[in-house]
Amino acid sequence: MDFLLKKVFEQQRLTKIEIKQIAEQMFEGELTESQIAGFLMALKHQGETAEEMAGLAETLQTKAMKIACTRTNVMDNCGTGGDQSGSFNISTTSAFVLAAGGVTVAKHGNRSISSKSGSADIFEHLGVDIALSPEKLSTVLNEVGLAFLFAPHMHPKMSYVMKVRRELATPTILNLIGPLTNPVFLDSQLMGTYRRDLLEETAKTLKDLGRKRAVVINGAGGLDEASLAGTTHYSLLENGKISLHTVEPEELGFSKTSLKAIQGGNSKRNTEILLSILKNQPSAYLDTVIVNAGFGFFTNGKVKTIQEGILLAKDCVASGAAFDKLQQLIQVQKEVS
């Protein structure tokens, strides 16, 4: 193990097998905090590769709680966070729209990283129990077609690195792989990232992890979501091939909107924003969710284009189906608790 760590510290690339050997010891508490910190910062300094991200993600998945899902074509729309935008909970709100449109969403998430309120904080404020047993979560996911999987609850082995992550106070490869470690097998994935330079590498990682379709997205201003503030960059994994694309708000039928217009607040404020969106109240918040849900439908293969996805997202909100999906989730959660 010392030999492998030395390779990392000397800026040498590791194979997937080698990175998994280090990850195995790291997630079993067999590395010191100094070794973990050095390892994470060395990878950050030289730039993370698809092999390294896939190796870490696969190792963590083997140690995660198991969630049984009988549904097919399951997806997640979790982002890395870390964009420092202070935006409201875009992917969380979009998940209700996607589920209303017939997509099964295993929503992986955590507490706040770059905003004042993370997805876990919102679900808690809505009255959703974020610490259900795997059996109860399976029931919710299979019945509702949407469940929230609280990352620290799903991945108890992450406890071995949490102190180091807090003390480093900077995003590392562990932030990048967070959305890659969903304990439910995913057929498709819409993944936001704050690292535009890793759009292609992240798509390669998703391919390695077995996704059939995937979109990795980075919005204007470095947002880990599709943004109406300017150009959105994304990579598309389709039929085993990866391509890079850009899209402007005008191409999607929207005017440019500043990032200030989608600022969030604490969990109470962000929950108010979520409810206003699901009740179809016009705003930059609503438009942003419609675009991101549109990307989600496209990613899942529900529609052939992002524009068609946007039309479906608008219908899911305007019809009240997205709000009804929220009510269904709350009701089923109460029944199984």
Average pLDDT over residues 280-308: 98
Q: SS3 string of 272-311?
A: HHHHHHHCCCCCHHHHHHHHHHHHHHHHHCCCCCHHHHHH
Domain of 22: which CATH number? 1.20.970.10
What would the pLDDT profile of 62-98 be if each residue is shown by its tens digit? 999 999 999 999 999 999 887 777 889 999 999 999 9
89 is in an annotated binding site: yes
On whether both 37 and 151 belong to a single domain, the answer is no
Could you tell me if 189 and 224 lie in one domain?
A: yes
Q: Are 67 and 149 in contact (CB under 8 A)?
A: yes
How many residues comprise the chain?
A: 337
For residue 243, say whether it is annotated as part of any ligand binding site.
no
- Taking the C-alpha atoms of residue 32 and residue 160, their distance in angstroms, rounded to an integer, is 9
Could you give the residue ranges of the DSSP H alpha helices within the chain? 2-9, 16-26, 33-46, 50-62, 90-100, 119-125, 134-144, 151-154, 159-168, 173-177, 199-208, 267-278, 284-300, 306-318, 321-336
User: What is the count of structural domains for the chain?
Assistant: 2
Segments forming the whole domain that contains residue 8? 3-63
**Are residues 197 and 58 part of one domain?**
no
- Flag whether 251 is marked binding: no
Mean pLDDT value across the chain: 93
As a whole number of angstroms, the distance between CA 147 and CA 100 comes to 13
**112 has pLDDT over 90:** no
What is the percentage of the chain residues whose pLDDT exceeds 70?
Answer: 98
- Retrieve residue 66's tokens: 């198991």
* Alpha-carbon distance values, 296 to 30, 194, 289 (Å): 39, 18, 10
| 337 known member of a binding site | no
Task: Name which of 257, 305, 313, 308 is nearest 284 in CA terms.
Answer: 257
Please give the Cα distance from 180 to 330 (Å, whole number): 26
159 is in an annotated binding site: no
Instruction: Answer yes or no: is 320 a known binding residue.
Output: no
Is 224 annotated as a binding-site member?
A: yes
For residue 113, what pLDDT is reported? Answer: 53
Contacts of 281 (CB under 8 A, 6+ apart): none
Asked if residue 209 and residue 103 are part of one domain, the reply reads yes
The tens digit of pLDDT for each residue in 148-197 reads: 999 989 999 999 999 999 899 888 999 899 899 999 999 999 999 999 99
- The verdict on whether residue 188 carries a ligand-binding annotation is no
Residue 304, CA distances (Å) to 83, 191, 203, 301 in order: 29, 18, 19, 7
Q: Please check whether residues 17 and 111 belong to one and the same domain.
A: no
30 and 173 within one domain:
no
Confidence bin at 320 (pLDDT 50/70/90): very high
Q: Flag whether 94 is marked binding.
A: no
Q: Is 28 annotated as a binding residue?
A: no
Q: Is the pLDDT of residue 114 over 50?
A: no
> Is residue 107 marked as binding?
yes
Q: Is 108 annotated as a binding residue?
A: yes
Angstrom distance (rounded) from CA 22 to CA 40: 11
Q: Enter the pTM of the model.
A: 0.94
Q: For 175-206, b where at least 16 C-beta lie within 10 A, e where not — what string?
A: bbbbbbbbbbebbbbbbbbbbeebbebbbbbb
115 is annotated as contributing to ligand binding: yes
**Distance linking the first and last C-alpha atoms of the chain:** 44
Same-domain pairing of 15 and 89: no
Res 116: pLDDT: 60
* Buried/exposed 10-46: b ≥16 CB within 10 Å, e otherwise: eeeebebebbbbbbbbbbeeebeeebbbbbbbbbbee
Amino acid at 327: Q
**Residue 277, pLDDT score:** 98
In a domain, 172, yes or no: yes
Taking only the tens place, the pLDDT of each residue in 218-254 is: 999 999 999 999 999 999 999 999 999 999 999 999 9
How much is the pLDDT for 16? 93
